[in-house]
Structure 1
Amino acid sequence: MLSAASRTSSRGLHKALGSIAAVRLLAPAASPASPFTTSASAPAAASTAVAHAAKPAKKGGLLSLLFGSAPPPGPPMFEPLPGVAIPPPLTEFKATETVVSTLPNGLRIASENLPGPTASVGLYIDAGSVHETAENSGASHLLERMAFKSTTNRTHFRLIREIEAIGANVMSSASREQIALTADAIRTYVPEVVELLADTVRNSLFHDWEVKEQVDKVRSELAQLQATNPQGLMLEALHSAGYAGALGQPLLAHESSLARLNGQVLYEFVAANYTAPRIVVAAAGVEHEELREVVEPLFGDMPGGTVPETPKSVYVGGDWRMAADSPETHVALGFEFPGGWRNEKDALAVVVLQTLLGGGGSFSAGGPGKGMYSRLYTRVLNQYGMVTSCSAFNSIYNNTGLFGIHATAPSGHAPELVDIMTREFLAVAEPNGVSTEELERAKNACISSIEMNLESRVVVAEDIGRQILTYGHRKPPHEFIARLREVTAADIANVARKIISTPLSMASYGDVVHVPRFDQVAARFS
C-alpha cells in the first residue's frame, strides 16, 4: 500500500505526463495519416509513412520519444564548465580520539567527543556471574533487574520522573564478566545523567518488596523462556556442560538460587565487587574535561584497592540433555575457542567464521543482506527441508570462548540433523574448504556491521567501556578493520581445526531419545 507521500508523488507524476500528452496532441502530426482523412490524401500519407520507416531511428532519449526530435547536445560531463570556479577540496576528516584518564582511587574515565546534540554515558563494571559463589548465585541477573530502583536519595517513582523530565533513556545489562548501566540524553544533561547513574550504583537500598517483585518476574521469564525460546537455554546448557569453574556457573538465576536472594545478598555482592579500579565511566558525545569535572566529585571517594584475579575456568566439554514435550528437537554442538578476546588474531578469524557460516530460520523475508548466501543457508536450510533453523554462534570472553552451531528439526530427525551439523564443522576445517568469494563476502559483512554499529553513540560508549575493561585501553576501529581484511582462508581453516580439536560440548532439548550418544558424536571429530 502506498504511503500518503507516495500517493501525492504518484498523482503529480500522472498530472505531468497528462500535460505532456496534451502538448503532443496539439503538435503537428508526424505519424501515418488518420483514418478520417480523405481517400485522395491516403497514398501520399502511405508514401510518407514508408519514407519514415526507411529512415534510421534517431537516438534522442526521452525527449525524442515525447516530441519526435533529439535534444541539443550538451557539454561533456568530464569537462569543467567555462566561467565556473571549482572550490578547493575539503581537508581530510580527522576522526575523534578516545581520551582516558584515571582518578586517584583507580576509577577510569574514557570519552570520545563525537559531534552532535546527544550523548551516551555508561558505567561498565568488571563483575558478573563468574564472580558469584554458591551463596549469591544469580545476583548478577537480579542486579540487572534492580537497576534504577529506590536509593537513599530517591524513591523509584521520583527517579523515573527525573529520567523522564530530561528525556533520557536508561538501560542495564549483565553478562558473565561485566555489568553495565547506561543512559542517553541531550548532551547538556550529562551532569544530571552521571549523577543518576552514580546514585543508582552507590546508593541502592534493595528494599525487600522491590527485590521480591523482581524475583517473581525472573521466575516468570525463566518459565516463558523454556516454553517459547529453548535456544536461549541451550547456550546456558553448553556453558554448564563445557566449563568447570566460574564460566560454568549460570548467568540466568536458577529456581533454587532465587529463594536465597534478598536485599542483603545483593548489598554484599555490590560492596565486594563495585570498587573503583573495576569501574569505567565511558561516554560518547562528551568533552573529556567536562566529563571528568562531573565524575570526580561523585566517584572520587569510592574505595580503591587492587583488582582481584579473575576466577578460574577450565574447559572440559560434556553433555546436557533435557527431555520435553516439544514438536521440535533442539541440538547445539560447541567447542572451546582458546585465548578469547586477548588472542586477537584468532578472535577476528572466529568472528569471520561465524559470519561465513551464518544461518537462520527456514523462512526469512529478507535477501542477501540478511545472510541468505551464508553457508548454513545454502548448504543446509536450502537443501534439507526438515531443518527448521540452523545458525552459528560464538560467546567470546577475555581468555576463552565458545563457538558452535545450533539447529532444530522435527522430532525423529535428530540423527540426520547431528550428521549435517558435524559435516559442516568438518568442512570449514579442510585446507581448501572456504572459497575466496565466501571469505570476501563474510569479511565485508563484518566490516559493514562494525561501521554501521559505530554510528550509534550508545555502541561507541559501550565499545569504549568494554575494551578498557578487557585490554586496558581502546583500540580504534580502523585497527580491527585492517586486521579483518588480513584474514585469509588458511586462517579460517586453522582456527576451525583448533576449535574442533578441543573437547565437544553438546546440549539437546525435546525428544532427546533419538539424539545420538555423546561419545558417538565426539568420535566424529577425533
Structure 2
Amino acid sequence: MAFSIFPRFQALQWTLGRSAYRAFAAAVGVPMSDPIPDTPSSEPFAKPPSEGVKISKLDNGFTVTSLETHSPVAKVALLVKAGSRYEAAESLGVTHHLRATAFMATKDRTAFRVSREIDHLGGNLSASSTRDHFIYSAECLREYVEPVVDTLANVSLDPIFQPWEVADQTRLVQLELAMAAQSPHVGIVEDLHKAAFRSTLGNSLYCLPHVVGRINPDQLRSHVSSHFHPDRMVLAGIGVNHDELLKLALASFGRTSTSFHGSDVASKYYGGEIRTETNSDLVHAALVSEGASFVGDDYFAVGVLQRVLGVTPFIKWGSNTASSRVNKAASDAAGGSPAMASGFNAAHSDSGLFGLYVVCYAENAGKVIKAAVGEFASAAMGNISEEEVTRAKNQFKANILMDNEDSSSLLFDIGTQVILRKSYTNAQAAADAVDKVTKDQVIKVAKRIFNGKPTFVARGKLHQTPYLDELR
C-alpha cells in the first residue's frame, strides 16, 4: 500500500486500493509525478556525519570511549577489571554477591533513591560480570546521560554494603543458582574452566552453594577497594557526544586518584576431567584444549576453525548437518537418534578454550563423542578444503557485522576492546582481518589445539560416556 503524507489522499488510497486510485487520478487529470499546488516542499533529511570510536584518558588513568550515533537513546557501561578471576581464595563467590548488591545504598544515596531517580528519568540499570570484568550498564534518553553517569560513579565508587541489605539479597543469589542448575550448558562451561584453569579463569561466575549467605560486607568492600581503581576502569558510551561524556567522567570519576599497585595473576592452563552423574537421559559433554585469547594472534584463525568444524544452525529448526562437519558426524553416529555437536570457543583476556560440545542420548554417548572427535582429528591432519575455509570466513564475517548492528553488543565490544587492547578495531576492519586468514593458518591452529593438553567434562547418565584417556 502506498503511503501519502496527505490524509485525504491516503484515505482515498486505502478505500480504492493502489490500482483503482491510479485510475481515478488519471481520470481527473492529476499527474502522479507533479507536486500538489500550494504545498510547501520539504527539505531532504540531512544524515548526521558518521563518527568513529573516540578514546580519551583522564589524568588519574580513567579511560573514556564513545561512539556518537545521534540516537535519541544513549547507552553507557562502566567496565572494571574485577571479574571472578580476581577473587581471593577466601572470598570465592564475591562477584556473584556484588552483582546482587550492585545498586544498594551508597554513602549519599539509599537504594530507594538510586532506583527512583533512574525510574523517574525513564532509564534502567543492570549489573553483570564475566571472568575478566564487572560491568555496570545503563540506558536512558540522551538528555539524561549526566545524572545516569553520576549514578554509575556513585554505586561503583561509594557503596557501603549495609549488612541487612547484603543479607536480603541472599534470596536473589539462591534464585540465580537454582536457575543455573536447570541449564546443563551452564554447568558444562563452569566445569570446563574449573578443570582447565583451576583458579583465576577457573573461578566460577556463580557462588558455591555452601558459600551463599556467608559473603559478608567486609569481603565485598575489600573486593571493591582492591580492584575498583580508575586505571582499571573504562566508561563506554553509545549515542553520546564524546566531549560531553569526557566532562561527565572528569566530574564523577576524576575525584579519585588511587591507582592499582598490585599485579594481576596470569592464568595458567592445566587440563583435566570432571564427570558429574545426574538423572538426565541426555548427556552434555565437551572436549577442549587451550585456545586463543581475546587479544591473541590466533584469535581470527581460531574463529574460522570453529566454523569449519561447525556451529549451531543458521536456519531456524535446521539440523545444520549439511555444512557442519562435527554435527553431521554426530548425527550419522547416532543412527537417527537426536544428537548435536558444535565447535566451542571461549576467549578471555589472556587465554581461551577451544574444542567440541556434544549433546546426545546417554546410550549413544560413546560413539557420538568419538565421531565428533574423529572429525576434529581429521581437520588437524590437514583435511580442510578451500571451500570450507571460504564458507567459514563468510559466516564469521557475518557474525561480526551482524553483532555490531545491535547497540548493546556494540557497546560491550567497544568497552571490552578498549579495556584489554587500549584501542578499538571496528567491525569492518575485523572482517578484513578474517579475510586474510589462510587455510594453512587454520590447519596450523587446528593441529596445535588438537595436540594440546585436553580437558573433558560431561554431565548426565554417563555409563556409556568414555573417559578422557579413551578419546585421544
TM-score normalized by structure 2?
0.85
**Structure 1 residues 322 and 126: CA distance shift in structure 2, 3 A:** same
Higher Rg? 1
Other-structure match for 2:394: 444
**Map 1:350-361 → 2, pairs under 5 A:** 350-360=302-312
SS in 2 for 1:298: helix
SS in 1 for 2:59: coil
State the distance in 2 between where 1:13 and 1:185 align: 38
**Structure 1 residues 504 and 14: CA distance shift in structure 2, 3 A:** farther
Taking only aligned residues, the RMSD between alpha carbons, in angstroms, comes to 2.9
Other-structure match for 1:467: 417
Query: For residues 345-376 of structure 1, what are the alpha-carbon distances to aligned partners after superposition, in whole Å with 9 as ceiling and x for unaligned?
Result: x1111112223333448x974459x8973334
Native 8 Å contact 1:285 1:457 kept in 2? no
Native 8 Å contact 2:131 2:201 kept in 1? yes
State the distance in 1 between where 2:227 and 2:259 align: 11
- 1:322 pairs, out of 269, 272, 276, with 276
Other-structure match for 2:236: 282
Q: Specify the code of the residue in structure 2 equivalent to 1:461.
A: L
Question: Could you tell me how far 1:126 is from its partner in structure 2?
Answer: 1.0
State the distance in 2 between where 1:165 and 1:259 align: 32
State the distance in 1 between where 2:250 and 2:322 align: 49
Native 8 Å contact 2:267 2:350 kept in 1? no
SS in 2 for 1:250: coil
Q: Specify the code of the residue in structure 2 equivalent to 1:221.
A: E
Q: Specify the code of the residue in structure 1 equivalent to 2:185.
A: Q
State the distance in 2 between where 1:484 and 1:502 align: 24
1:414 aligns with 2:365: yes
Native 8 Å contact 1:244 1:313 kept in 2? no
SS in 2 for 1:313: coil
1:220 aligns with 2:179: no
**Map 1:305-344 → 2, pairs under 5 A:** 305-306=259-260, 308-338=262-292, 340-344=293-297
1:169 aligns with 2:124: yes
Native 8 Å contact 1:359 1:375 kept in 2? no
**Map 1:233-252 → 2, pairs under 5 A:** 233-252=187-206
Native 8 Å contact 2:266 2:350 kept in 1? no
May I ask how many residue pairs the two structures share in their alignment? 436
* Higher mean C-alpha deviation, range 147-156 or range 246-255: 147-156
State the distance in 2 between where 1:504 and 1:342 align: 22
State the distance in 1 between where 2:51 and 2:410 align: 11
State the distance in 2 between where 1:184 and 1:18 align: 46
1:99 aligns with 2:54: yes
Ranges in structure 1 where 5+ consecutive residues have no aligned partner: 1-11, 20-90
* Higher mean C-alpha deviation, range 105-114 or range 382-391: 382-391
TM-score normalized by structure 1?
0.76
1:389 aligns with 2:340: yes
**Structure 1 residues 425 and 463: CA distance shift in structure 2, 3 A:** same
SS in 1 for 2:91: coil
- 2:79 pairs, out of 124, 130, 135, with 124
SS in 1 for 2:135: strand
Native 8 Å contact 1:355 1:445 kept in 2? yes
Question: Could you tell me how far 1:387 is from its partner in structure 2?
Answer: 4.0
Native 8 Å contact 2:288 2:455 kept in 1? yes
Other-structure match for 1:296: 250
- 1:424 pairs, out of 362, 370, 375, with 375
1:146 aligns with 2:101: yes
Ranges in structure 2 where 5+ consecutive residues have no aligned partner: 1-12, 21-45
Other-structure match for 2:352: 401
SS in 2 for 1:206: coil
State the distance in 2 between where 1:171 and 1:224 align: 18
